[in-house]
Amino acid sequence: MIKKVNIIGMGLTPHDLTDIHKEIIAKADILIGGERHLAYFSDSAATKKTITKDIKGVTAYISTNMTTRRIVVLASGDPLFFGIGALIIKAVGSENVRVYPNISSVAAAFARAKMSWSHAGAVSLHGRDHKAELLRALRTYKQVAVFTDPQNNPAWLAGWLISKGVKNYQIGVFEKLGTSDEKIGWYELDLAADMTYGEPNLVILKRKSDTTPGLPRLCLGMPDDAFKHERGLVTKKEIRAVALSKLQLSPEHTLWDLGAGSGAVSIEASVLLHRGKIIAVEQKAARVAHIRANIQRLGVTNMDAVQAILPDGLDCLPHPDRIFIGGGGRRLDLIIKAAASFMSPGGIMVVNTVLLSNLERTLEIMRAQGFEAEAVQVQVNLTKSMPWSERFEAGNPVWIISGLCLAKNDMSKQSNHD
């Protein structure tokens, strides 16, 4: 019979353990936890297993031993608040686990600061690359708690925020909470970037003013002049809205923006791609510089700009879930064929064009490459002031062709360049 795996939140220190927690730990055949937590129970006769970066190895060890031995996992704070609890439950099944929550370091930090955290955000940089989530949280919340680690420490975080144009926040650093060496300090970002801190620690970022935003506004439907671009070469916001809807983006997707121009489409896509990756490919160096300037100013952290003459350069990019092609000129046929060869079933490609010849040809190529393709024409008319009234001024009609990949294209990449 499988024995339940008990996951116990340690709180800040063993002082936060209840009698029930201690009784369960005392009966354990195997104790699993970080070195710091296991050190508290050096007198225990239980077998000790240290949690390392090899989380899969830990969950495999649990699965192997849970049928015959009583396993207790010692987790930091609250096991299900950015903790190891969810990973263990996923690995061994919720029916085989009991979770005993405890005070989290976030709750403790806000209590020390005497601040409500009913409407605060929380992001973990502890072994995670969640910088995009952090910037998104700063745009949403006045207070954001950040789990740190020795690499993503408060000094690094303060310097990184400064590099992203964040100015309107104080950083609170909560060191060694619950211990006799506990230390709490509030600092300006430039000062915090030059300091050292005791481990472990947690950060609270607090907006200094309710009236001044902490970051440039990044959202869907941004005005065209929000992007640095070359002589009006920017996809208009109404067209961006339709193109993004056709891409059907999910947070974890990888998006290629080919012939990216100013990068406006893919930068707005970052609002939706919380955990994903965006690669904007552009031929001209000046436009690549514009894309990088827009990325920097708007604080997008999960997007790279690549200079390449398409269709070359695609082999080095991470596999795409979605592809947007906003440019290509006379090489559009080759670009579509090459890009299609990297798509898996379920992937979506969207192509914008203003040329009638490209419309028909794009539909033909997509369908030949195993896509279910359709097109929509979008024409936007904007109001223009007149001496005593207003009129509508027509923009250029744009065809937006979208295709769902139904079958993997097995054509060699060489044939796509022929």
- Among the candidates 103, 131, 159, a domain finishes at 103
Residue 319 lies in a domain: yes
Say whether both 355 and 306 belong to one domain.
yes
> What tens digit of pLDDT does each residue of 195-254 get?
999 999 999 999 987 644 556 678 899 888 888 888 777 889 999 999 999 999 999 999
Q: CA torsion sign, 70 to 75 to 81 to 86? A: negative
Identify whether 201 is part of a domain.
Answer: yes
Cβ(38)–Cβ(48) under 8 Å?
A: yes
Residue 322 shares a structural domain with residue 409: yes
- The total domain count for the chain is 3
Q: Say how far apart CA 373 and CA 106 lie, in whole Å.
A: 49
Domain stops at, among 142, 176, 207: 207
Pick the closest to residue 127 from 177, 176, 167, 76 (CA basis).
Answer: 76
89 and 115 in a single domain? The answer is no
Q: DSSP character for 150?
A: S
Residues contacting 223, CB < 8 A, separation 6+: 237
* Polymer length in residues for the chain: 418
Backbone φ and ψ of 408, nearest 5°: -65, 130
Domain match, 36 and 89 both: yes
Same domain, 276 and 359: yes
The counts of H helices and E strands in the chain are 14, 19
Please list the pLDDT of the chain residue by residue as tens digits (418 residues): 678 999 999 999 999 999 999 999 999 999 999 998 999 999 999 999 999 888 999 999 999 999 999 999 999 999 999 989 999 999 999 999 999 999 999 999 999 999 999 999 999 999 888 888 898 888 888 999 999 999 999 999 999 999 887 878 999 999 999 999 999 999 999 999 999 999 999 999 999 876 445 566 788 998 888 888 887 778 899 999 999 999 999 999 999 999 999 999 999 999 999 889 999 999 999 999 999 999 988 888 889 999 999 999 999 999 999 999 997 778 899 999 999 999 999 999 999 999 999 999 999 999 999 999 999 999 999 999 999 999 999 988 999 999 999 987 654 344 444 4
Direct distance between the N- and C-terminal alpha carbons of the chain, in angstroms, rounded to an integer: 63
Where in the sequence is the domain holding 329, given as residue range(s)? 224-416
Q: Is residue 215 part of a domain?
A: no
Q: 144, 175, 207 — which closes off a domain?
A: 207
Q: Is residue 409 in some structural domain?
A: yes
